[in-house]
Chain A
Amino acid sequence: MDLHNETVEHNRAEHAGEMHIVRPPVYLGIFFALLVLTALTTGMSYVDLGVFNAVIALAIACFKASLVVLFFMHIHYSSRLLKMTVGAGLFTFMLLISLTMTDYISRAWGRF
């Protein structure tokens, strides 16, 4: 039993460490950053950059998503295990995109 209580204590301590209080200015700052980036996306849609249209739009969207995950979802302040969990999701998503692209990129090459 002793051993058990110790681990419980230990877990609590770890939890307390994870609990990071984010101040309102941070949230507001992120919120405005998101608004500005949204405006930027809208603005860029009036400029024709050819193939880069989608690239720019997606880059801004990814940046915004990162802000949400890191600050609104507190991953920036979380344990390494949670960071890794998010990383695993991202990694899986990259697999989906990159391996699907092996098809789209080389489909027109014809047969060997």
Chain B
Amino acid sequence: MSSTIISLPDQTTARLPRKSYLNQEYGLKSWLLTGDHKRIAILYLISITFFFIIGGILAGLIRMELLTPAADLMATDTYNKVFSMHGIIMIFLFLVPSVPATIGNFLIPLMVGARDLAFPKINLLSWYLYVIGGIFILAAMVLGGVDTGWTFTTPLSTHYLNTHVVTAAMGIFIAGFASIFTGLNFIVTVHRMRCPGMTWFRLPLFVWGHYATSIIMILGTPVLAITLVLVAMERLFDIGVFDPTKGGDPLLFQHLFWFYSHPAVYIMILPGMAVISEVISTFSRKRVFGYTAVAFSSVAIAVFGFLVWEHHMFIMGVSQYSALVFSLLTMLVAVPSAIKIFNWAMTMYQGSITFETPMLYAFGFFGLFTIGGLTGVFLATMGMDIHLTETYFVVAHFHFVMVGGMLMAYLAGIHFWWPKMTGRMYPEAISKLAAVVTFIGFIVTFFPQFLLGYLGMPRRYAAYPADFQVLNVFSTAGASILGIGYLLPLFYLPWSLIYGKIAGDNPWQATGLEWQIQSPPLTENFVEIPIMDHEAYDYEWLANKTQHEVQTVG
């Protein structure tokens, strides 16, 4: 229960290492053909940032349109395309790869004590597939857009719309394989490449979270891929699986789509939780409370996440009896998430907490994810859901978990491991400001949407009754604040690449294996494969180690 106080090392003496993965080789080709998981992580980081900016601009357009009750900024069918592209880009091209493909890619080998992922070439292939998928989706947008919503609802998508449904679906299909390959690589790496002494229960919880995510990626994504192929076939050849006049059933599409897409929301949160475990432990200087419970709750979420999808279909005409079962199961799936929250709170209890930027983002995660998760339980209640479904309440629910939860965790992770990835510190004062601005902007943007939804404002409409305007103005104003919060890191992080303070090996005095090597790491990660001779989060081990060690710089 006790925390170990460790004094932070003096950063003025730290030097950048002469050799690292960043200057091992130069030139575009050395990046585009690399097998190094760290370089692929950087490639992913750059590409998802690109798509995040595009998705963000589309979000800005949505909020601008909703500033006034009338549909006056754009034509209503343009509005449909804008929110559809926003959802498709943010979910499939940003949130799904956000933490796993960048931070996870960079860290999983370092954390298990390996020199790379199990299949470096498949890892590179994953990035190429992601980029090709992204190009398809951009093409669909530039050629005139899609207006099905990110959910491709049939028969709208198969029979009634004239937009680039097939192109966008192919893009998602291809990007899906990028995510399957990432998952495959993680699972094999964790099984086969752990260093000597690294037992399953000595793995950092970050690795457990990613392991659980990978299970969903591998088992769930193929279902999405096939479902989208069926939509495309239905459009192109009229095969009739979703068409009642031919013996098909449009609800079958919903079953198949949500069979992936509910587990997928856990693809979009488990890696975030994985980040939070590391951050909380480091800045409380304590072992994560209930390590085993947190580890298994990740796996439980991955497994039970497959049993609840019908809660997206309660009002679609599914069987009442079946819906009852799914309602119960949905409430149960909130339990493992709650286990995590309680264990993190207990981790902080009596810790020596400090408030560096990653910790501020982690606090943001706590509050916002908890609200998001609990409103999910509201929605799981069938009676409530009839009133709230397809309103802004649902929009607020999933933005609390996906933006308030995952995006906060992503930014926590980027700041936390920035010194390791680049060898330099981000500027502390302005980044703290960014974390606070993001939190405030988030609340002002999305809290009013709960009220709007409760009052009955439907989602996906460009116009609304004048009564709702005040809350919508709040929401749009908040979005501008939020935008500033996200713009700040886009400026100061690149700035810090040149002007940031030199970080040194272990600026946070964290215990993970990744912190015991130089920053930025060598291409081969470890000069010698480490031997894990202590438990995870053992701050006493670290204190002893730093006492006996002269800082060496390679």
Contacts and interface: CB of A to CB of B under 8 A. Distances in A.
* Chief secondary structure at chain B's binding surface: helix
Interface residues of B, number: 29
B219 A103 contact: no
Contacts of B317: 107
A4 to B, nearest CB: 5
Contacts of A107: 317-319, 322
* Chief secondary structure at chain A's binding surface: helix
Given A88-B219, A92-B219, A103-B251, A112 B307 contact: no
B307 A106 contact: no
Given A4-B529, A81-B191, A103 B318 contact: yes
A1 B530 CA distance: 8
B310 interface: yes
B219 A4 contact: no
Interface in A87-112: 88-89, 92, 95-96, 99-100, 102-107, 109-112
Interface in B284-330: 306-307, 309-310, 317-322, 325-326
A3 interface: yes
A4 B195 contact: yes
Interface centre among A89, A106, A109, A112 (most CB of B within 10 A): A106
Contacts of B306: 92, 95
Contact of A112 (B192, B252, B320): B320
Contacts of A92: 219-220, 306
Contact of A111 (B215, B223, B320, B528): B320
A11 B191 CA distance: 11
Contact of B259 (A3, A81, A96): A96
Interface string B515-541: 000000000000011010000000000
Contact of A3 (B252, B256, B531): B531
A79 to B, nearest CB: 11
Given A81-B191, A99-B310, A109 B223 contact: no
A106 B219 contact: no
B319 A106 contact: yes
A105 B325 CA distance: 14
Interface string B189-217: 00110011100000000000000000100
A83 B212 CA distance: 19
B527 to A, nearest CB: 11
B191 A109 contact: no
9 contacts: A1-B528, A3-B196, A4-B529, A6-B196, A7-B196, A88-B219, A99-B307, A106-B322, A110-B320
Given A3-B531, A107-B318, 20 more contacts: A1-B529, A3-B196, A4-B531, A88-B219, A92-B219, A92-B306, A95-B306, A96-B223, A99-B326, A103-B251, A103-B255, A103-B310, A104-B319, A106-B320, A106-B321, A106-B322, A107-B319, A109-B320, A111-B320, A112-B320
Interface of B: 191-192, 195-197, 215, 219-220, 223, 251-252, 255-256, 259, 306-307, 309-310, 317-322, 325-326, 528-529, 531
